[in-house]
Amino acid sequence: MTNRLATETSPYLRQHAENPVDWYPWSEEAFRRAREEDKPILLSVGYSACHWCHVMAHESFENPRIASLMNERYISVKVDRQERPDVDDIYQQVSQMMGQGGGWPLTVFLTPQGEPFFGGTYFPPDERYGRPGLARVLMSLSEAWRHRREELRDTIAQFQQGFRQLDQAYLGGEATEVEDLPAETARALARNTDPVHGGLGGAPKFPNPSCYDLMLRVYHRSGEPTLLDALGRTLDHMAAGGIYDQLGGGFARYSVDARWAVPHFEKMLYDNGQLVKLYADAYRLTGKPAWRHVVEETIAYVLRDMTHPDGGFYAGEDADSEGQEGRFYVWTPAEIKAVLGEADGALVCRAYGVTEHGNFEHGATVLHRAVELDALQSARLAGWRERLMAARGRRACPGRDDNILTGWNGLMIEGLCAAFQTTGTPEYLSAAKRAADFIRDRLTLPDGGVYRAWKDGIAKVPGFLEDYAFLCNALLDLYESCFDKRYLDRAIELVALILDKFWEDGLYFTPRDGEPLVHRPRAAYDNAWPSGISTSVFAFLRLHELAGDDLYRDRAEHEFRRYEVAAARAPAGFAHLLAARDFAQRGPLEIVFAGDKSGAAALVTSVHRAYLPARVLAFAEDVPIGQGHRPVKGRPAAYVCRNRTCAAPVTDGKALLERCAP
């Protein structure tokens, strides 16, 4: 027997369609019933690939005893955080205010008006791991709702005050006197990078691409070796570790240890899009072949396993298969030797650290680069990997979250554009175009805005700030990759919509005509992906350079001023905003090409291959700043300008790069 989630398109909600819980999706119907029956709401937020969401579902939501308590005493609402990041952001703050951190599954108890009065993340069914059992929590809060409601009203008032204080925390304090906050932040992040394995902090360890992107930008202009050392150590150890799929390419969400050895196996599109861009940019700057290989293998994974036939990119893949986390990815020596034979299998086990004891559950091993093979063995490794991949392909595959999300597709398009510019591989540009066209055709609102999510032919939920901002920057990258003006024109439309829908004395995460919630979030911090605010600021700055509209620059400066104190206090949470500040304070290069677009290919390629983090590219006929720029004696030319002042045109790629040198 199914519940009402069976009719939803969200893969996460549909995973709970056969629970004995009387689930509602987030809807007015649920809140109306809660008001009519005077019951509190149990809000559960997660996503399809979330391992601990699956654990809680199996332990509690499939448990008849707990389901009966939920059905009798609560109205239960299930939310996919990928579809409703606004709801997730608001109620994650409740868990954080209670000192429990954030994460998924998120479990929050609300009044019928949506006001929170208790929350946390994962609850076991009965007390365990130092956590209260869900059954006891359900009983206790239900009794409080029935008999001690005034006490709950005091708690609700405290949470409402907490929302206001969190907003003020962004703005409080005196302005920083640091002369170069992006550089100081990059240095601090480098000092805090693990001196052995790279990465920030200990276990669990996340990739933090925005932080390392900032280091790369500052290194480009400063040449400080400690920055490149911290970045390089991190990129090398991630690529060698179990967080990277050594057979199929692509990165898992994080490592449960400090050595990148054992991942939390789910793979998310947003990680892989950002990391493709980071590795591509690092390769552009250093020419290190291993980093190019990571780019190529990760894109191969996305195009093979994460792409809709019509070009959009899926949201993620589960950690679990056959009821076990990581089962698809791990190996024993016997399994490898059964595929490759005794001698070759022994070599591969040595190369990838596969032992009888293993580094994961049940004696299995997550593949990682343990030792370097000699030249002959390394040459044969590609063939061995192909055979292991074929064998792995016969296993039960992890479930796939086939939501197609506008914002996350934007991040992947950016990665593909960086890879195309770095390598010149036409397939990457083609994939980026197909994804952009998919969004145009299936995720466009009647007013020209964007939907958040698409699945099974249905577009759902008007987009949030990050959807507009990520897509806008992706389209600017596409324009700078192929100079098809329709991408530039659409990016300009999206920036106008950002200012119309999300700006009210600063940027908000939700549109002005969005669903009223108990709090309207700004969501200024970077999380696993950059904030919509910092990404919008990048779009404002880039379009100011291309279109010459001072409003864009002024809006960017407004957000810099609003968050500079918070950025100085918590730089890792504002790394992408500080990258935008770095872009602005350099005085970006405006590189304008004049002449036939195909004839200018050599000039364009020279710029594409170089790492120039503070530049915009355009053809003269496409932008106001191109007025007056002409070919030179019939030859395509490039004009390098800064602050609307241009040097003499050049017609040679080498001379062009000399003009662009920091």
- Which tokens is 265 given? 């196996």
101-144: pLDDT as tens digits: 789 999 999 999 999 999 999 999 999 877 899 999 999 999 99
Three-class secondary structure of residue 47 per DSSP: coil
Helices 575-585 and 181-191: angle between axes, nearest 10 degrees:
140
- Which tokens is 109 given? 């108890």
Residue 99 pLDDT: 80
Three-class secondary structure of residue 120 per DSSP: strand
Residue 616 pLDDT: 98
- Has residue 323 got a pLDDT over 90? no
- Which tokens is 492 given? 């300009």
Asked if omega into 105 is within 30° of 0 (cis), the reply is yes
- Has residue 559 got a pLDDT over 80? yes
Instruction: Give the list of residues 6+ apart from residue 249 with CB closer than 8 angstroms, or none.
Output: 294, 296, 297, 298, 299, 300, 301
- Has residue 356 got a pLDDT over 70? yes
Average pLDDT, the chain: 95
Helices 149-171 and 134-147: angle between axes, nearest 10 degrees:
110
- Which tokens is 229 given? 């050392």
For residues 61 and 18, the answer to whether their CB atoms sit within 8 Å is: no
> In percent, how much of the chain has pLDDT > 70?
99
Residue 603 pLDDT: 97
Residue 167 pLDDT: 77
For residues 470 and 269, the answer to whether their CB atoms sit within 8 Å is: no
- Has residue 173 got a pLDDT over 80? no
Which residues pair with residue 330 across a beta bridge?
none
Residue 166 pLDDT: 79
DSSP state string for 487-509: HHHHHHHHHHHHHHHHBSSSB-S
Q: Return d(Cα 426, Cα 414) in angstroms, integer.
A: 15
Instruction: Give the list of residues 6+ apart from residue 75 with CB closer than 8 angstroms, or none.
Output: 24, 30, 31, 33, 34, 37, 39, 40, 41, 42, 112
- Has residue 172 got a pLDDT over 70? no
DSSP state string for 200-259: BSSSSB---HHHHHHHHHHHHHH--HHHHHHHHHHHHHHHHSTTB-TTT--B-SEESSTT
Neighbours of 354 (CB within 10 A): 26
Q: If you average pLDDT over residues 557-570, what whole number do you get? A: 93
Instruction: Give the list of residues 6+ apart from residue 635 with CB closer than 8 angstroms, or none.
Output: 595, 599, 651
Kindly tell me the burial class for residue 150, based on how many C-beta atoms sit within 10 Å of its own C-beta (0-12, 13-18, 19 or more). Answer: exposed
Q: Return d(Cα 562, Cα 81) in angstroms, integer.
A: 27
* Least confident segment among 171-175, 495-499, 526-530, 534-538: 171-175
Residue 128 pLDDT: 85
Asked if omega into 64 is within 30° of 0 (cis), the reply is no
Q: Return d(Cα 474, Cα 418) in angstroms, integer.
A: 10
Neighbours of 246 (CB within 10 A): 20
Cα separation of the two ends of the chain: 66
Identity (one letter) of the amino acid at 564? E
Q: Return d(Cα 388, Cα 383) in angstroms, integer.
A: 9
Q: If you average pLDDT over residues 293-318, what whole number do you get? A: 98
pTM: 0.96
DSSP state string for 155-212: HHHHHHHHHHHHHHHHH-SPPP--S-HHHHHHHHHHHTB-TTT-SBSSSSB---HHHH
Burial 607-620, CB ≥16 within 10 A → b, else e = bbbbbbbbbbbbbb
Residue 98 pLDDT: 87
Q: Return d(Cα 1, Cα 602) in angstroms, integer.
A: 64
> In percent, how much of the chain has pLDDT > 90?
91
Q: Return d(Cα 475, Cα 478) in angstroms, integer.
A: 5
Residue 332 pLDDT: 98
Q: If you average pLDDT over residues 183-203, what whole number do you get? A: 96
Three-class secondary structure of residue 268 per DSSP: strand
6-24: pLDDT as tens digits: 999 999 999 999 999 999 9
Q: According to DSSP H, which parts of 27-106 are helical?
A: 28-37, 51-56, 64-73, 85-97
Which residues pair with residue 313 across a beta bridge?
307
Strand pairing report for 645-646 and 637-642: antiparallel
- Has residue 195 got a pLDDT over 90? yes
